[in-house]
């Protein structure tokens, strides 16, 4: 059972709250429709239940607020907006990535594809899904955790009549298995036809809470719809005849040439039009809403619409009667629950990753061969394919771009469920991104160096492909450069939520920060760090092998270089900025 008690959104400026003291229940085993005209506060009410909007009130899911549920995706399935995701990712890849975020087995994705009828489109790209299939995918995402409660915002939007019937058959099946379903709609006929219970709201306040039969009997009225180029004249004629016959007839002039006639029949309206020579383009029976959302102008005699008393928003002494309880915000999920698996699927699930890696390897090999022709380039720069004109070698540029896309795509095409408050600033996700992008950078750098050596051996023979002197130190410097570029791009993109910002921060290190470090370190040094490993050994409690001294000294020398110092400084600044923005966002909750 879902209980909403005294939901009230925070008013913005001088405007009234979008939801005002809203209280209702969605019983288990039933499909409940939240009915209201556009702008009545339906979506805001759902967001208040999920803690995505600030306000007052309480929302209980089987007696527990959402922020006290360990795994919300296994209790509540949500579809608020269109399904987020990179348009180049496949349907199956998107679902498997969401599975990692929700902490459910990957096999669940294939099951849900069959349930929602997307089995034949499992390899289709998200950007090429036919109309209406994205709603099916959204429903599959909502059902992944096998939740008890489904919250759906206008789930039938963009669906054909056949798909609408399929959708509500699925929702009824979920409710029949002791589940709770709450969806929003603006169509009263759809609510009466598909829901077991209808909750009607207007201007954010509760108007009626009825079962479907009572709603259809008290709030829907039959009417005659007429389309005629002489709508004003026909409305006057119908009103005049109703007054003469002392009959209760309501004539509503709607948009264009359309009239809605309540209290009459097609035969009577047709007779009046024929008798007075009024041309009629359409004459049909319909069922219309008699709720407060309709406020058209009327002409002639009118019959008073049936009224329904406003349901009480809370019994005396109930938690929602005063509406003065703060709505406990949903803590953003510590998402994803399987961060490394999620990040690997995000990275490898789009063609851009493979294209970037292939372009880096090809460009790196070509540059290495061209640089070797002059004979003036040192062997380490040949293997790195790093000409003096470029701020960074191709492998470092590719690593930085992958790092920037790691967060840039997360904000542009969010794979995490925004509807449950998951934000890509959680510590677990950050560590997973750092680990995965660092490993990807090292892999690209290793492949680039090996491919460059083989290209040099193939073109110029084996002399240029010999292992360079001080290979361990050069490998450490090369690895630090690659990982530093990847992390610089990642952190900057996470701070500014743009891929371009990550790329700019990565390029700024050699272009701006390194010259500044050169200027700072250009002066003469009065002291030396010679003997640092020995002094550190004296301070250490554990005795480490003497071979570690060589690696420690190589690391110190690497950091002493302007590029190394600039990279460490930039990463420190970016990490502090990332943590600051993350903590500031958390403080708002």
Q: What's the burial of 461, exposed, middle or buried (CB within 10 Å: 0-12/13-18/19+)?
A: exposed
| Contact predicate 66/59, CB 8 Å | yes
Rounded to whole angstroms, the Cα distance separating 329 from 48 reads: 9
Q: What is the pLDDT of residue 113?
A: 93
List the domain boundaries for the chain. Answer: 2-217, 220-299, 339-588
| Contact predicate 250/303, CB 8 Å | yes
Torsion of CA 238, 244, 250, 254, to 10 degrees: 30
Q: What is the pLDDT of residue 334?
A: 47
Q: Characterize the bridge pairing of strands 149-153 and 76-79.
A: parallel
Q: What's the burial of 255, exposed, middle or buried (CB within 10 Å: 0-12/13-18/19+)?
A: exposed
Helices (H) and strands (E) counted in the chain, each on its own, are 20, 14
3-state secondary structure of 209: strand
Alpha carbon 423 to its chain's center: 9
| Contact predicate 206/22, CB 8 Å | yes
Of the candidates 6, 21, 34, 5, which has an alpha carbon nearest to the alpha carbon of residue 197?
A: 34
Paired with 227 in beta bridges are 258, 282
Torsion of CA 510, 516, 522, 525, to 10 degrees: -110
DSSP assigned state of 145: T
Q: What is the pLDDT of residue 336?
A: 78
- Provide block-wise average pLDDT over 10 residues at a time, the chain (589 residues): 93 85 95 93 92 89 88 87 83 92 90 92 90 87 92 89 92 94 92 93 91 82 87 90 87 83 88 92 76 38 32 36 41 66 93 96 94 84 88 93 92 69 68 94 95 90 73 83 92 90 88 72 59 58 55 54 68 82 54
| Contact predicate 511/391, CB 8 Å | yes
Q: What is the pLDDT of residue 292?
A: 43
Domain 220-299 adopts which CATH fold?
Alpha-Beta Plaits (3.30.70)
| Contact predicate 303/248, CB 8 Å | yes
Alpha carbon 555 to its chain's center: 41
Q: Which tokens in the block code for residue 148?
A: 């008890």
What is the value of pTM for the model shown? 0.74
Q: What is the pLDDT of residue 468?
A: 73
The greatest distance separating any two alpha carbons of the chain, rounded to the nearest whole angstrom, comes to 113
Of the candidates 574, 449, 561, which has an alpha carbon nearest to the alpha carbon of residue 501?
A: 574
Of the candidates 38, 24, 137, which has an alpha carbon nearest to the alpha carbon of residue 81?
A: 137
The two domains 2-217 and 220-299 share their CATH topology (first three levels equal): no
**Does domain 2-217 fall into CATH 3.20.20.80?**
no
| Contact predicate 300/259, CB 8 Å | no
């Amino acid at each position: 059972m879902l209980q909403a008690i005294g939901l009230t959104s925070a008013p913005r400026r001088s405007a009234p709250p979008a939801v005002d003291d809203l209280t209702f229940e969605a019983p288990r085993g039933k499909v409940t429709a939240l009915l209201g005209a556009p702008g009545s506060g339906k979506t805001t009410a759902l967001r208040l239940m999920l803690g995505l909007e600030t306000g007052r009130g309480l929302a209980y899911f089987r007696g527990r607020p959402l922020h006290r549920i360990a795994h919300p995706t296994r209790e509540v399935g949500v579809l608020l907006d269109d399904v987020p995701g990179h348009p180049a990712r496949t349907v199956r890849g998107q679902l498997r990535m969401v599975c990692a975020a929700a902490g459910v087995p990957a096999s669940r994705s294939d099951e849900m594809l069959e349930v929602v009828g997307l089995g034949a489109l499992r390899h289709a790209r998200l950007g090429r899904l036919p109309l209406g299939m994205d709603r099916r995918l959204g429903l599959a995402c909502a059902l992944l955790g096998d939740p008890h409660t489904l919250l759906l915002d206008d789930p039938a939007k963009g669906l054909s009549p056949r798909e609408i019937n399929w959708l509500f058959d699925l929702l009824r099946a979920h409710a029949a298995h002791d589940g709770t379903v709450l969806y929003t709609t603006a169509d009263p006929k759809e609510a009466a036809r598909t829901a077991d219970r209808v909750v009607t709201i207007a201007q954010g306040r509760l108007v009626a809470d009825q079962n479907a039969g009572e709603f259809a009997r008290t709030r829907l009225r039959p009417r005659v719809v007429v389309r005629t180029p002489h709508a004003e004249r026909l409305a006057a004629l119908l009103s005049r005849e109703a007054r003469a016959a002392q009959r209760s007839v309501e004539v509503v002039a709607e948009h264009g040439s359309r009239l809605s006639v309540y209290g009459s029949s097609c035969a009577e309206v047709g007779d009046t039009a024929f008798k007075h020579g009024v041309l009629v383009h359409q004459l049909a029976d319909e069922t219309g809403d008699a709720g407060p959302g309709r406020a058209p102008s009327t002409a002639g005699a009118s019959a008073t619409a049936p009224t329904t008393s406003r349901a009480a928003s809370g019994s005396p002494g109930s938690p929602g009667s005063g509406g003065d309880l703060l709505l406990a915000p949903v803590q953003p999920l510590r998402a994803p629950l399987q961060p490394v698996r999620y990040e690997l699927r995000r990275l490898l699930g789009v063609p851009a990753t493979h294209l970037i890696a292939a372009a880096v390897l090809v460009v790196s090999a070509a540059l290495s061969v061209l640089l070797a022709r002059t004979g003036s380039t040192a062997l380490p720069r040949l293997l790195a394919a790093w000409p003096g004109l470029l701020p960074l070698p191709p492998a470092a540029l590719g690593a930085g771009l992958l790092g920037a896309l790691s967060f840039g795509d997360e904000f542009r095409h969010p794979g995490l469920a925004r509807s449950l408050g998951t934000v890509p600033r959680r510590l677990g996700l950050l560590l997973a991104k750092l680990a995965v992008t660092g490993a990807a950078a090292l892999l690209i750098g290793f492949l680039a160096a090996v491919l460059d050596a083989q290209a040099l051996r193939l073109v110029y023979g084996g002399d240029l492909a010999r292992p360079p002197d001080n290979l361990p130190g050069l490998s450490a410097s090369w690895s630090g450069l690659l990982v530093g570029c990847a992390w610089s791009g990642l952190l900057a993109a996470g701070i500014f939520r743009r891929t371009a910002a990550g790329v700019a921060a990565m390029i700024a290190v050699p272009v701006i920060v390194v010259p500044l470090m050169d200027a700072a370190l250009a002066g003469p040094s009065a002291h030396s760090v010679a003997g640092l490993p020995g002094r550190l050994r004296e301070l250490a409690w554990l005795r480490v092998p003497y071979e570690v001294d060589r690696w420690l000294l190589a690391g110190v020398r690497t950091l002493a270089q302007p590029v190394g110092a600039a990279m460490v400084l930039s990463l420190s600044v970016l990490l502090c900025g990332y943590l600051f923005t993350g903590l500031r966002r958390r403080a708002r909750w």
